[in-house]
Structure formats: C-alpha cells, structure tokens
C-alpha cells in the first residue's frame, strides 16, 4: 500500500495494483473508491489513520450479520432504514467501541477498544 499524487494534485491510494481515489474523509477515517468504477469495479477501501482497515461482514451461528473490522467484531444493535448502529461484541466487559453505517458504508467510528 502506498499513497501517490494524481495529475490534479490529489492523494490516491495504490493497493494490490489498483488505484483508489478519495471519496469521503472524516477525522481519522477515509473512504477510497476504485477508479475503474465505470468499468464495473465496486471496490472500496477504508483507511483509519492512513492504515488499511480490513472490513467485511460475517454471519453468526443463527444467521445474523456481524461487522468485522481488523478482526474486531461488531453486533448489530439497531437499525433505522439504511442506517445501522453496531457495538463491539465485548461490550459486556465494558468496551464502548461503536460504528454507524449507511448502506454498508462506515460513516462514523466512536471510541477505541479497551481490550
């Protein structure tokens, strides 16, 4: 993974031979979108503090969805339309880490893990 400058002077992300342009940025999280989207690429990359965050959805034993970011699992706490609130699965030991997604895109990350 490395960052490069586009011919317009913007930062782009190179990862595994593919280029991603910045789509959205919050305080420490950036969403990058594949530059070949017009050709059908649906790839997104999330970085947190310029480090790639490996994000995917898993399935629980009973068939529910679990959000997984860098190995940390989040259970779906509530949903309002496309907006979903996720909480760390270790909240029973006091972890307050939580995430909000809209249409499966992370829009907010709150608190760090304490475990």
pLDDT in tens, 12-45: 999 888 899 999 888 888 989 889 888 877 778 8
Average pLDDT, the chain: 88
Average confidence (pLDDT) over 72-78: 94
Confidence of residue 58 (pLDDT cuts 50, 70, 90): confident
**Is the pLDDT reported for residue 89 higher than 90?**
yes
Average confidence (pLDDT) over 71-86: 93
Q: Could you tell me the fold of the domain covering 55-110?
A: N-terminal domain of TfIIb (2.20.25)
Beta bridge partners of 65: 59
> What is the CA angle 71-55-13, rounded to 5?
120
Q: Could you tell me the fold of the domain covering 2-53?
A: N-terminal domain of TfIIb (2.20.25)
**Is the pLDDT reported for residue 85 higher than 90?**
yes
% of the chain residues with pLDDT over 90 = 43
Beta bridge partners of 53: 46
Please give the residue that has the higher pLDDT: either 59 or 10: 10
Average confidence (pLDDT) over 66-93: 92
CATH 2.20.25.240 residue ranges of the chain are 2-53, 55-110
């Amino acid at each position: 993974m490395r960052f490069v400058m586009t011919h317009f002077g913007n930062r782009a992300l190179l990862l595994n031979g593919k280029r991603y342009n910045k789509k959205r940025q919050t305080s420490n999280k950036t969403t990058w979108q594949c530059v070949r989207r017009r050709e059908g690429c649906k790839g997104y990359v999330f970085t947190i503090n310029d480090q790639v965050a490996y994000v995917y959805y898993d399935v629980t034993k009973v068939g529910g969805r679990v959000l997984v970011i860098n190995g940390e699992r989040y259970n779906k706490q509530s949903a309002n339309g496309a907006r979903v609130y996720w909480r760390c699965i270790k909240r029973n030991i006091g972890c307050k880490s939580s995430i909000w997604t809209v249409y499966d895109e992370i829009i907010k990350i709150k608190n760090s893990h304490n475990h």
